[in-house]
Amino acid sequence: MKRIIVHTERCTGCRLCESICALYNERMNDPSRSRIKISKKHSLGLSAPLVCLQCKNPPCGKACPVNAIKKDPNGLVKIDYDECIGCEACVSPCPFGVMMALPDKVVKCELCGGDPQCVKYCATEAIEYGNSERVIQQKRIQKMNQMLEKLES
């Protein structure tokens, strides 16, 4: 499935992804209501985007006592707000810390209906919307080229 793929080394930490996410999904100017989160190592100036990776076997779903977090046929992990009781049991099991507990509800990245806005505004392409298979294929090709170059020299 297509998901948000993160290239941490390219992130400049501008947090435009957070702002855009909150504007698009909440119609609010408040990055603390974003589904994507930039974490920072301030002393080195480094940043890392953290966002739901749509796990195949999502720990958040397992932790949910009312079975409100389900995978849809495309593999997208979704919260069913009709079922959700707001207990936040799903928040701490997430290994990436991206089940976001807002004051009024829990939210997670649901890929903006297939057109994730954060990706559109990432100038350095630190976040990409795509298929993991394609990314590893590129890596294999890169590796192969490196090996070929070595052989040639």
Partner 1 sequence: MNPIAFIDLSKQEIVVKPIPERIRHLFLGGRGINMYLLYNHLREGLDPLSPENPLLFGAGLLTGTHGIATARFNISAKSPESGNLGDSNSGGFFGPELRFAGYDHLFIKGRSPSPVYLWISDGKIEFREASHLQSYNLPQTLDAIRTELGDQDIQVAAIGPAGRRLVVFANVMCTIGDAAGRTGMGTVMGAKNLWAIAVRGRRPIEIASPEKLIKVVEKHYHQITQTKGYKATALYGTLMRLAISRTQGQEPALNFQYNMLESGGEEFDPDVFVRKYEYGKMACFNCPVHTKHLHRVSSGDHKGLTGAGPEYGGAGYFGSSCGTGDWVTIMECWDLCNQYGLDILTTAGYIAWVMELYQRELIDESVTGMPLHWGDHEAMTTLIHQMGRREGFGGLLSDGWQKANMRFFGEKAKEYEHYIPTIKGMTVDQDTRGTKAMAIGAATATRGGGCHLRSRFTMEEMDLPPEATKKIIGRPVTSDPDSYEGKAYPAIWMEKLCAVGDALGVCRFVTKWLSPGLLGFNELAEAVSAVTGYDLTPEQLMEVGERIYNLERLFLIREGLGRKDDRVPERFHEPWQYGYQRGSCIEREKFETLLDEYYREHGWDEEGIPTRETLERLGLSEEPSHLI
Tell me the closest approach of the beta carbon of residue 37 to partner 1, in angstroms: 9
Binder of partner 1 out of 3, 4, 5, 15 (CB under 8 A): 15
Q: Is 39 in the site for partner 1 (CB under 8 A)?
A: yes
The minimum distance between CB 73 and partner 1, in angstroms, equals: 29
Identify which of residues 40 and 140 has a Cβ nearer to partner 1 in the complex: 40
- Whether residue 109 contacts residue 18, with contact meaning beta carbons closer than 8 Å, is answered with no
Residue from 40, 62, 139, 140 touching partner 1 (CB under 8 A): that is 40
Part in contact with partner 1 (CB under 8 A); list of ranges 53-61, 69-77, 83-91, 118-126: 118-126
66-95: which residues touch partner 1 (CB under 8 A)? none
Q: How far apart are CA 121 and CA 139, in angstroms?
A: 24
Cα 130 to Cα 69: distance, rounded to the nearest angstrom: 23
Interface with partner 1 (CB under 8 A), residue from 56, 57, 123, 153:
123
Nearer to partner 1, 33 or 108 (CB): 33
Select from 65, 15, 7 the least CA-distant residue to 36: 15
Q: Tell me the three-class secondary structure of 86-148, residue by residue.
A: CCCCCCCCCCCCCCEECCCCEECCCHHHHCCHHHHCCCCCCEEEEEHHHHHHHHHHHHHHHHH
Select from 70, 78, 58, 54 the least CA-distant residue to 1: 54
Interface residues with partner 1 (CB under 8 A) are 9, 12-16, 19-20, 23-24, 27-33, 39-40, 42-47, 103, 121, 123-124
